[in-house]
Structure 1
Amino acid sequence: MSAPTAPPRPRAGWALPTAWILLAAVALISLGLGSVHISPAEIVSLLADRSGGGSLGTIVWDVRLPRVLLALLVGASIAVSGALLQTVMGNPLADPGLTGVTSGAASLVLVILLAAPSHTSMIPFAAFGGGVVAAALVYALAWRREGIKPLNIILAGVAVNALAGAFIAFLSLRYSDRLPAAIQWMNGSLAAKGMNSVWMILPYTVVGLVVALLCIRSANVMRLGDEVARNLGEGVNLTRILLSLVAVFLAAIAVSAVGIIGFVGLVVPHIARMIVGSNHAVLIPMSTAVGALLVLVSDTVGRTAFSPTEIPAGIIMAAIGAPYFLYLMYRQGAQ
């Protein structure tokens, strides 16, 4: 039996291409902003001919382009991760940060950065392992016979975040002499990132997003609730594990590159649903675009608005996301 799915909202036909065009335009503008201003026309020329740009070419290709690309990859990964977690948990407040996934991933990444800095190639795998452990703990703590309630998810996430925070504090004290190198990463900063960081997460991000797209039907079925999903022939438990693993994988890859950037996975899926509806066939592509756009804007504002001081993208996102989270909590309480 095929799964009934809500049709995309009529505006999805123009909203999706508009979001992607806007993303490309903002990326072009971001490449030109900084201590040295470069016009969009010059940016296009420099991108077309790297060898003829001189010092401006170096600024664009070696300094700004890696940062922009990394922001796009990280934002897309966290946003799609949040969309999948909200679906699989049946909880509009689910988010890689609030559920402890990013803290769990960050804990094991810090083990590599502080205790074994010569093994940085293991960072993506450590992040995934930490995220899986955190997600499993949240499920174990939040699960009840009647299912997973939104409040239980939040409380379990608080507990897991506290546990991960204690472990991070222990690592910080144990390896205090190496801590300065990890502080920027812990705050969700994209500063001083080169193309090596982009190449490190690009294949994993592409694989994660492709698998998420392949899970569209299953995600749409899970959105209908466990009982309906079973009646439609879906293996609910197996599907929940699969979608959770994809979500954790995407969040962990983002953490491995830039540290913790909170609230992207919470805010973006809500924005995307308001625009295109809850059908994952359009929700996932829209979340990809909006997530990439939001992190790119946060990073651009952080590095230009307070120059010469630079504010990490994670701090900018927290300033945006925390009030929105409080609004969602209030709305959930009212319902």
Structure 2
Amino acid sequence: MVNRPSLFFILLGGLFCALSIGLLTVQLPENTSILRLIHPSDNLDLLLVQSYTLPRIAIALLAGGTLAFASLLLQQVMGNPLASDSTLGISSGAQFSLFTVAIFAPQFLQYSTGLIALVGAIFSLLFVLVLAMHKTLSPLLLILAGLVVNLYFGACTAMMMLFYPEEARGLAQWGAGSLVQESWHDSQQLALQSAVCFSLIFLLRRPLSILSLNDSNAKSLGVPVGKLRFIGIIISAYLIASVVSAVGMIGFIGLSAATLVRQLGIRTFTWQLSASIVLGALLLAITDLILQLVNVYYQISLPTGAATALLGTPLLLWLMFRTLPHSGRLTTTHFQKIRQYRPHFTWLIIAFFVVSVILGLGLGKNAQNSWQMLIPEHTFQLDILALRYPRMLIAICAGILLSVAGVLLQRLTLNPMASPELLGVSSGAGMGILVLLFVFSAQDTLWFWLAGISGALLALFILASINQRSGMLPEKVLLTGISLSALFDTLQRIVIASGDPRANQLISWTSGSTQSLAPTLAIPFTLLALILLVVSLLFSRWLDLLRLQSPMAQALGLNILQTRWILIIFSAILTALATLMVGPLSFIGLLVPHLTHFLGVYKARQQLLISALLGSTIMLIADWIGRQILFPYEIPAGLVATLVGGSYFLLMMRKV
């Protein structure tokens, strides 16, 4: 009698064979046997299949099996059921290092792309491990750190694509995970690298299987736990880096295969490794074969890695809710009162804001690349000031809107790590814009705003729907939001890899430049931001009551359900407006509420006002730095704020 795992593998193998034969039948000349492929030929159609299609199938099998093996090995040595190349930021680190070298030092690519990718992969993995080390590698914090590192490296990659569009154009398809092959070279190289690593791990399979016990029991049996973990992590990083250097980022195949192996009830570590190789190979190959057939019949070309990432995000969400324990929960302990807010802080913040305005308006570099303070004495300098002030007003607007939204969301969810960016609200607004550009091809400004607000509302609705049963637990809300952000990043990579001219418009917008809006809109939007700030003050009593937890707030007469939905919708509107101004990621909504708490601000009304002032100041400085640091080139304010705010978030990870 065939058991369940065997039947599953037989069905997958049959599907793979059927799809392979179907694709080859379509591509081969009429009345040509598939057996002709194993013989040399001068026929051009046969040569194309031998040199393009067959190597592509081979690399899909190799890459899928390698990623699954590496992910299962990571899960074993780290004791984390969610560990994989995608969730720990390893693939994004490898891609970032290859991207950087390809643009700035392409001469080094001729030596070893695998080594370059390995350096990035190890750096990224070490970064994630250091962030979660003090919590004994809590599964929650490991995944949270890995997902945010993915977003952080994505922002850096977006900056390079913005500044070097010609150099990056050829890398976009590869970065999205393209399995397109032109020879057997990559397949042979990856097969050799994988075979060596597989052999080493199978030699160590018995001590590695003992790592499933706790450390003290494993050590009592004579197993060198530290050395085994180090070897397992290094080999996993090397395998993942090898795949990334060969075909780019292939999202979630490793996690999917490793999870299915465990769900099938395969118990022993040796059989799990073997099954993961076969299952990962079949999953990626079947996905790629389906995409090739779609391209043949419908002329729709999608990068395989981005497609697997798109399918894998729901799997990640399901796994997080199913397997994550409540250990390592995010709490509000670091929000304890550390100082009493004093009135002179207000004057200091106002003075800081005024200085930022003066710097932004007057101080800058001239044509000779020397610093110059503008004094409005003649027409030319007045013209320069007329160019600068609308951008500054837009920066102020974005700072106000994101800061207020951050305060609302943190008080609403009782989650100190909540922000419009990390809860997927900004990404939802971005998805609305993406749909508008590529489905409806609309260019009218009004439609942009409506699409952005609708996308933000939809993201918040999804977030609330998924987490309603779990009582809006802070850590699960946060992981859901970051997963939504990762989903948007995947869609963006698919669009960029398509080569559509509208992708350049999307890249420019997502970078978060304050010059993307028409100068005539600066004053109206400033007034709108101030009006929304005043409206947010009307919610001060609700926000103060929500800090007392739901039962107490409800006992004091607050309609919890109605209040939550009003604040959710209002936060979505604020976030959508800010996102349309400075792009989908800046971390201002996370950074500013933390600064106000550090200063000792706890009452809602006071926190909203101080946050608006601080957010405006930070965005002004980000815009000024972006304009001046690489003059005459410009780094968009949104990216500058992302690098600063993202660094702060990673620092906060060490304290949760």
Asked if these proteins are the same fold (TM beyond 0.5), I'd say yes
Gaps of 5+ in 2: 327-656
Query: Is 1:215–1:243's contact at 8 Å kept on the other side of the alignment?
Result: no
Query: Is 2:287–2:304's contact at 8 Å kept on the other side of the alignment?
Result: yes
Q: TM-score, normalised by structure 2?
A: 0.46
Instruction: For 2:307, give the aligned amino acid.
Output: I
Q: Alpha-carbon deviation of 1:44?
A: 4.2
What fraction of aligned residue pairs are identical, expressed as a percent? 29
Q: Please show how residues 221-240 of structure 1 align to structure 2 within 5 Å.
A: 221-240=210-229
Instruction: For 1:106, give the aligned amino acid.
Output: Q
- Counterpart selection for 2:146 from 141, 152, 157: 157
Q: Alpha-carbon deviation of 1:47?
A: 3.2
Structure 1 residue 194 and structure 2 residue 194: aligned?
no
Q: Alpha-carbon deviation of 1:256?
A: 0.6
Match in the other structure for 2:38: 48
Q: Please show how residues 1-335 of structure 1 align to structure 2 within 5 Å.
A: 11=3, 15=6, 19=9, 23=13, 26=16, 29-30=19-20, 32-33=22-23, 36-38=26-28, 44-51=34-41, 54-118=43-107, 119-144=109-134, 147-306=136-295, 307-333=298-324
Query: Is 1:95–1:265's contact at 8 Å kept on the other side of the alignment?
Result: yes
Query: How far apart are the structure 2 equivalents of 1:199 and 1:24?
Result: 25
Query: Is 1:62–1:195's contact at 8 Å kept on the other side of the alignment?
Result: yes
Match in the other structure for 1:5: none
Match in the other structure for 2:367: none
Query: Is 1:11–1:275's contact at 8 Å kept on the other side of the alignment?
Result: no
Query: Is 2:140–2:324's contact at 8 Å kept on the other side of the alignment?
Result: no
Query: How far apart are the structure 1 equivalents of 2:265 and 2:316?
Result: 21
Q: Alpha-carbon deviation of 1:32?
A: 4.5
In terms of mean alpha carbon deviation, does 303-312 or 286-295 score higher? 303-312
Residues 84 and 162 from structure 1, CA distance in 2 versus in 1: closer, same or farther, beyond 3 angstroms?
same
Query: How far apart are the structure 1 equivalents of 2:162 and 2:147?
Result: 22
Query: Is 1:74–1:292's contact at 8 Å kept on the other side of the alignment?
Result: yes
Instruction: For 2:217, give the aligned amino acid.
Output: V
Query: How far apart are the structure 2 equivalents of 1:229 and 1:250?
Result: 26
Greater relative contact order: 1 or 2 (C-alpha under 8 angstroms, separation 6 or more)? 1
Query: How far apart are the structure 2 equivalents of 1:92 and 1:292?
Result: 20
SS in 1 for 2:177: coil
Instruction: For 1:135, give the aligned amino acid.
Output: L
Query: Rg bigger for which structure?
Result: 2
Q: Alpha-carbon deviation of 1:100?
A: 0.6
Query: How far apart are the structure 2 equivalents of 1:22 and 1:43?
Result: 24
Q: Alpha-carbon deviation of 1:132?
A: 1.0
Query: Is 2:61–2:281's contact at 8 Å kept on the other side of the alignment?
Result: yes
In terms of mean alpha carbon deviation, does 207-216 or 26-35 score higher? 26-35
Q: TM-score, normalised by structure 1?
A: 0.86
Query: Is 1:142–1:156's contact at 8 Å kept on the other side of the alignment?
Result: yes
Q: Alpha-carbon deviation of 1:190?
A: 1.0
Residues 170 and 55 from structure 1, CA distance in 2 versus in 1: closer, same or farther, beyond 3 angstroms?
same
In terms of mean alpha carbon deviation, does 194-203 or 223-232 score higher? 194-203
Query: Is 1:31–1:68's contact at 8 Å kept on the other side of the alignment?
Result: no
Q: RMSD between aligned alpha carbons?
A: 2.7
Query: Is 2:96–2:120's contact at 8 Å kept on the other side of the alignment?
Result: yes
Residues 42 and 76 from structure 1, CA distance in 2 versus in 1: closer, same or farther, beyond 3 angstroms?
farther
Match in the other structure for 2:506: none
Q: Alpha-carbon deviation of 1:63?
A: 1.4
SS in 1 for 2:180: coil
Query: Is 1:31–1:43's contact at 8 Å kept on the other side of the alignment?
Result: no
Query: How far apart are the structure 2 equivalents of 1:197 and 1:333?
Result: 37
Query: How far apart are the structure 1 equivalents of 2:23 and 2:67?
Result: 25
Query: Is 2:118–2:238's contact at 8 Å kept on the other side of the alignment?
Result: yes
Q: Alpha-carbon deviation of 1:112?
A: 3.1
Query: How far apart are the structure 2 equivalents of 1:58 and 1:184?
Result: 24
Query: How far apart are the structure 2 equivalents of 1:35 and 1:316?
Result: 24
Query: How far apart are the structure 2 equivalents of 1:80 and 1:209?
Result: 8
